[in-house]
Chain A
Amino acid sequence: MYKPPDYLLVDELLSEEHKIIRSAVRDWVDRSVKPIIENAAQNHEFPIHLIKEMGSIGAFGPYIPQKYGGAGMDQVAYGIIMTELERGDSAIRSAASVQSSLVMYPIYAFGDEAQRMKYLPKLASGEWVGAFGLTEPNHGSDPGSMLTRFEDKGDHYLLNGSKMWITNSPIADVSVVWAKDETGVVRGLLVEKGMAGLSAPETKNKWSLRASLTGELVFDNVQVPKDNLLPNVKGLKGPLKCLNSARYGIAWGAIGAAMDCYDVALRYAMERKQFDKPIASFQLQQKKLAEFLTEITKAQLLAWRVGMLRNENRATPAQISMAKRNNVNMALQIARESRQILGAMGITGDFPMMRHMMNLESVITYEGTHDIHLLITGFDVTGISAFG
Chain B
Amino acid sequence: MKVLVLISNVPDTTTKIRFTGDNTAFDESGVQWIINPWDELALTRAVELKEAGSVQSITVANVGTKATEATLRKALAVGADDAIRVDTEANDAFAVATQLAAIAKDYDLILAGIEASDYNGAAVGGMLAELLDFNSVSAVSGLQIEGDTLQVNRDIDGGSQLLSMSTPAVAIVQKGITKEPRIPAMRGIMMARKKPLNVVAPVGADDRTSFVNFELPPAKAACKMIDEENAKEIITLLHEEAKVI
Which of B70-78, B120-128, B203-211 sits within the interface? Answer: B70-78
Instruction: Mark A residues whose CB is within 8 Å of B.
Output: 1, 3, 16-17, 19-21, 23-24, 27-28, 31, 56-59, 62, 66, 71-73, 77, 81
Interface size band for B: 10 to 19
Are A58 and B186 within 8 A (Cβ)? yes
Expressed in whole angstroms, the Cα–Cα distance for A31 and B180 within the complex equals 10
Are A17 and B189 within 8 A (Cβ)? yes
Expressed in whole angstroms, the Cα–Cα distance for A27 and B73 within the complex equals 17
The verdict on B183 contacting chain A, using a C-beta distance below 8 Å, is yes
- Residue of A17, A31, A56 touching B73 (CB-CB under 8 A): A17
Collect the chain B residues with CB atoms within 8 Å of residue A58's CB: 185-189
Are B186 and A57 within 8 A (Cβ)? yes
Collect the chain B residues with CB atoms within 8 Å of residue A77's CB: 186
Are B185 and A57 within 8 A (Cβ)? yes
- Cβ contacts A to B, 24 pairs, < 8 Å: A1-B14, A17-B73, A17-B189, A17-B193, A20-B70, A20-B73, A20-B74, A20-B77, A20-B184, A20-B189, A23-B34, A24-B77, A24-B183, A24-B189, A28-B183, A31-B180, A57-B183, A58-B185, A58-B186, A58-B189, A62-B186, A71-B189, A77-B186, A81-B186
Binding site secondary structure of chain A = helix
Collect the chain A residues with CB atoms within 8 Å of residue B189's CB: 17, 20-21, 24, 58, 71, 73
Binding site secondary structure of chain B = helix
Are B70 and A73 within 8 A (Cβ)? no
The verdict on B131 contacting chain A, using a C-beta distance below 8 Å, is no
Collect the chain A residues with CB atoms within 8 Å of residue B180's CB: 31
Expressed in whole angstroms, the Cα–Cα distance for A23 and B34 within the complex equals 10
Given contacts A24-B77, A58-B186, A72-B190, 19 further A-B contacts (CB under 8 A): A3-B14, A16-B70, A17-B73, A17-B189, A17-B190, A17-B193, A20-B74, A20-B77, A20-B184, A20-B189, A21-B189, A23-B34, A24-B184, A24-B186, A24-B189, A31-B180, A31-B183, A57-B185, A58-B189
Collect the chain B residues with CB atoms within 8 Å of residue A24's CB: 77, 183-186, 189
Expressed in whole angstroms, the Cα–Cα distance for A21 and B190 within the complex equals 10
Expressed in whole angstroms, the Cα–Cα distance for A17 and B186 within the complex equals 10
Expressed in whole angstroms, the Cα–Cα distance for A71 and B188 within the complex equals 8
Total contacts A-B at CB 8 Å = 55
**Which residue of B is nearest A2, CB measured?**
B14
Collect the chain B residues with CB atoms within 8 Å of residue A72's CB: 190
**Given A17-B73, A20-B73, A27 and B186 touching (CB < 8 A)?**
no
**Which residue of A is nearest B70, CB measured?**
A16
Expressed in whole angstroms, the Cα–Cα distance for A58 and B190 within the complex equals 11
**Which residue of A is nearest B14, CB measured?**
A1
Nearest CB of A to B216, in Å: 19
Expressed in whole angstroms, the Cα–Cα distance for A28 and B180 within the complex equals 11
Nearest CB of A to B39, in Å: 15
Collect the chain A residues with CB atoms within 8 Å of residue B185's CB: 24, 56-58, 71
Expressed in whole angstroms, the Cα–Cα distance for A19 and B33 within the complex equals 11
Nearest CB of A to B206, in Å: 32
Expressed in whole angstroms, the Cα–Cα distance for A77 and B189 within the complex equals 11
Are B183 and A73 within 8 A (Cβ)? no
Which residues 166-190 of B sit at the A interface, judged by CB distance below 8 A?
A: 180, 183-190
Collect the chain A residues with CB atoms within 8 Å of residue B183's CB: 24, 27-28, 31, 57
**Contact pattern, B 186-206, Cβ under 8 Å of A = 1, otherwise 0:** 111110110000000000000
Are A16 and B73 within 8 A (Cβ)? yes
Nearest CB of A to B66, in Å: 11
Expressed in whole angstroms, the Cα–Cα distance for A56 and B69 within the complex equals 25
Collect the chain A residues with CB atoms within 8 Å of residue B193's CB: 17
Nearest CB of B to A338, in Å: 21
Are B186 and A19 within 8 A (Cβ)? no
Expressed in whole angstroms, the Cα–Cα distance for A19 and B69 within the complex equals 13
Are A59 and B186 within 8 A (Cβ)? yes
Nearest CB of A to B223, in Å: 12
Expressed in whole angstroms, the Cα–Cα distance for A61 and B100 within the complex equals 40
Nearest CB of A to B81, in Å: 17
Expressed in whole angstroms, the Cα–Cα distance for A20 and B187 within the complex equals 12
Are B186 and A21 within 8 A (Cβ)? yes
Collect the chain B residues with CB atoms within 8 Å of residue A23's CB: 34, 74
Ranked nearest first, the 3 interchain pairs of A and B with the lowest CB-CB distance are: A58-B186, A71-B186, A1-B14
**Which residue of A is nearest B190, CB measured?**
A71
